[in-house]
Structure 1
Amino acid sequence: MPSPEGGTASEAGPPPIDTRFVRHVRAFAARAIGVIYPPSCAGCGGATADPGALCPSCWTGLRLIAAPFCPRYGTPFALDLGIDTLLSPRAIAEPPVFARARAVALYDDTARSLVHRLKYEDRLDLAQAMARMMSAAGKTLIAEADCVVPVPLHRWRLWRRRFNQAALLARPIARGGGRPFEPQALARVKATRSQVGLTRAGRAENLQGAFRVPPTQAARIQGRRVLLVDDVTTTGATANAAARALLRGGAASVDLLTFALVGDPAG
């Protein structure tokens, strides 16, 4: 039978898919998966009502960072002195290369468990839930950013791990904030040794020359405000090295957003 365009009915292509039917199939599949794999707590693995949620015990164990905090490092203050621009002693003595840093929680108990399960137990599904919390904690930074760049892994470490946890967190943050995601804008060109056990000075020395903006990617960050994303801030050495490379590569400024922050509240 001829089609309106002059071809036969068989040439007109397959009939349109009923979107309601597709939604029903997806909903049924989600329910079936929920029966086979019941939702579990992202922190401890216990039963929860929703996938990726935290049980009450883990939620209360998450030491969320809230104001007041140091505007440079994002470290919470033990006391509220009523001064929003007050810098921590460390920010005065050791100003970071990045402009501002924010994190969801202190790296303790539940936060450590979440990071470790994502990073070392291949719980890639946790990235979405962690990214949502990071988006809330870094709302201002995201709104003022021109693009989002994850801290990269060296190619050999990426090959062994098979994924970059920073990129898994950065992608949904960029998408949710309507910002360009630039995973290739920064490269890790030096295979550094593990930072575990190194002093603050040792970490900084270990990361010298570790990052570079590839010449082919320079236009993506030229004159732009970059939001750098990673899973944990320890001493800030990695973020400083990455931010320095981005600034040398032409970025106008660099802010830092991580899930967890190592360190006690600032004095």
Structure 2
Amino acid sequence: MAPFSKVLDLFLPPRCISCQKIVLDPYTLCQDCWEQACFLSAPCCRICGLPFEFDVPDSALCLDCALCAPPFAQARSVFPYDDFSRGLILAFKHGDRTDLAPAFAGWMVQSAASLIEECDVVVPVPLHWRRLLKRRYNQAALLALEISKRSALIYEPALLKRTRHTPVQGHLSRMARQKNLQGAFQIIGDIEGMRILLVDDVMTTGATVLGCTKALLGAGAKEVRVVTLARVLPNKTV
């Protein structure tokens, strides 16, 4: 198989997943794109993963989490949702670039390694069946599946169901998004005592992961941890 792969690379050399320049390994970024990419890392809020601009203790919390801790135990993201990551995510989400899922999941596993160790199952944020029919695939489910392949977590794509077709939330405020999602999720099956890793592509205001987390905890989950490919940072817009 290895010799065949080398022959194939001669005719179809691997290309950067962002700019399409030829690279040595498949599903990677070229040097120029690596330099453009911003990967979120410590120091950050212990709970939500919001990056800090200065060194802080590992136990430090951001102001929002200190004032009102979210129901999920922890959340981490790979990228800030910026000009660079937006292009990759939109190609994956709306441009049928489902081939990007393995690379993205690999980065998510690295970013959320400590979270994954604390979980039993991995669950994607669900799409309503109408939106799934229109889009043809759930990008969060593709990421969750690839994460399960790279970890010991059990993949449970049908555990969380979206029962209400909510309007697109891009133009809504945080409070409006939370109201929009009230009662929109249902648990299918027994999750009593489970530690769940919830997966989505982008965390904007956090309303979607909050709605999912509340539904999971309300049905008996022991705790929920969240990993997303990107997150919108304060004072930034989608």
Displacement of 1:159 in angstroms is 0.8
Q: Which residue does the alignment assign to 1:12? A: none
After superposition, the C-alpha distances for 1:155-189 in whole angstroms (9 at most, x for unaligned) are: 11111111110011111211211111110110000
Query: Does structure 2 retain, via aligned residues, the 8 Å contact 1:62–1:109?
Result: no
Distance 1:173 1:33 in 2: 27
Q: TM-score of the superposition, structure 2-length normalised?
A: 0.93
After superposition, the C-alpha distances for 1:40-70 in whole angstroms (9 at most, x for unaligned) are: 2112222222221101121111111111100
The runs of 5 or more residues in structure 1 that have no matched partner are: 1-22
The question of 1:50 aligning with 2:20 is answered no
Q: Which residue does the alignment assign to 1:97? A: 71
Aligned length: 235
Q: TM-score of the superposition, structure 1-length normalised?
A: 0.84
Displacement of 1:32 in angstroms is 5.4
Query: Which of the numbers 193, 199, 214 marks the counterpart of 1:229?
Result: 199
The question of 1:186 aligning with 2:160 is answered yes
Distance 1:211 1:32 in 2: 48
Distance 1:94 1:164 in 2: 31
Counting aligned pairs with the same residue, the percent is 43
The question of 1:79 aligning with 2:54 is answered yes
Displacement of 1:78 in angstroms is 0.9
When structure 1 is superposed on structure 2, of 38-47 and 109-118 the one drifting more is 38-47
When structure 1 is superposed on structure 2, of 110-119 and 128-137 the one drifting more is 110-119
CA RMSD of aligned residues (A): 1.6
* Closer/same/farther in 2, CA of residues 36 and 190 from structure 1, 3 Å limit: farther
Amino acid in structure 2 at the alignment position of 1:240: L
Distance 2:170 2:15 in 1: 30
The runs of 5 or more residues in structure 2 that have no matched partner are: none
* Closer/same/farther in 2, CA of residues 122 and 264 from structure 1, 3 Å limit: same
Displacement of 1:210 in angstroms is 1.0
Distance 2:226 2:39 in 1: 17
Q: Which residue does the alignment assign to 1:254? A: 224
Query: Which of the numbers 239, 246, 260 marks the counterpart of 2:209?
Result: 239
Query: Which of the numbers 205, 209, 213 marks the counterpart of 2:183?
Result: 209
Displacement of 1:113 in angstroms is 1.6
Amino acid in structure 1 at the alignment position of 2:18: G
Report the secondary structure of 2:98's partner residue.
coil
Amino acid in structure 1 at the alignment position of 2:157: P
Distance 2:20 2:234 in 1: 27
Q: Which residue does the alignment assign to 2:39? A: 64
